Amino acid sequence: MHIHLLGTGAGGGFPQWNCNCDNCRRLRLGQIKSSPRTQSSITISGNGEDWVLFNASPDIRAQLESFPPMQPGRAIRDTGICAIVLCDAQIDHTTGMVILREHTKPWDVYCTASVHEDLTTGYPLFNVLSHFRGVNWHEVKTDMQPFTIPKADNLIFTAVPLKSEAPPFSPHRHNTVPGDNVGYRVEDTSSGKNLFYAPGLGTMEPHVLEYMRDADVVLVDGTVWTNDEMSRHGISDKLASEMGHLDQSGKGGIMETLSGLEKPRKILIHINNTNPILDEESQEYTQLKQAGIEVSYDGMDINI
């Protein structure tokens, strides 16, 4: 299984267009050991030719151009993407579908019923796309039963319900239902190895921990270092936990949890521009490295 990280930043990317936090300012000035991040999205293939796109960020055009297998050039209009899987209905995970409206046929889109509801009501993206080629919606259940996707050879997918927050436009905001946010276990049947992917994670529930413990690679929410990070930077008065993200450094946080896992390779994704781990010379980045936890970057390749 080949996993390519198209984008690894949180909403707004890094640097964010209107942000002058310490990280964004220093990146623009070339004063930080780091690299720009586009908004989070990954693609996975079991045969090296057909790719499942997980989330479609607003940066999708540049991301696809950066990875040649996305444009195999077999016809006048072509793509290596065989299906799109959505983890949630957040703007930074879905807006790229507007850019993909020029597909030659309806996209096969896999998401839960609650995400579909959001994308046909509060943020009626699917309704807009119906005026172009549209989408073929495939409902993803939240009962953690495996499913397959045509052309995604050798891959088996399992949606894992997560406790996080629904988008601001969702009818489920502050009253989430199963399926508002899911992670995915992706197993390669030829190797027997699997990835657990969860770019948004608000609570470490027992069933989620078990999926992580069994994974060969965990690619998980790395949004913020501390729960009050956004407020300390004067950006928002909301805690990360109120936005559906589990911080890294707190008790019971991502770092403590991942440090207790022996089997998987541990990688953080969906990293907010305020997070000090973006600075590869920071104390926080060093702490993660010492704990055996990696910080993802755009263009990163993982093979399992």
Summarize pLDDT for 277-296 with one digit per residue, the tens. 999 999 999 999 999 999 99
pLDDT tens digit sequence for 234-250 = 787 777 777 778 999 99
* Res 236: pLDDT: 77
* Res 244: pLDDT: 76
With bands split at pLDDT 50, 70 and 90, how would you rate the model's confidence at 174?
confident
* Res 223: pLDDT: 94
Domains for the chain: give ranges and CATH numbers.
2-303 (3.60.15.10)
Instruction: Compute the mean pLDDT over every residue in the chain, rounded to the nearest whole number.
Output: 95
Q: How far apart, in whole angstroms, are the C-alpha atoms of residue 253 and residue 246?
A: 6
Query: Rounded mean pLDDT of 56-75?
Result: 97
Q: How far apart, in whole angstroms, are the C-alpha atoms of residue 126 and residue 135?
A: 7
* Res 228: pLDDT: 83
What is the DSSP pairing of strand 217-221 with strand 265-269?
parallel
Q: What pairs with residue 187 in β-bridges?
A: 156, 194
Q: How far apart, in whole angstroms, are the C-alpha atoms of residue 65 and residue 80?
A: 12
Classify the C-alpha dihedral 171-172-178-184 as positive or negative: positive
Q: What pairs with residue 186 in β-bridges?
A: 157, 195
Chain centroid to CA 289: how far?
21
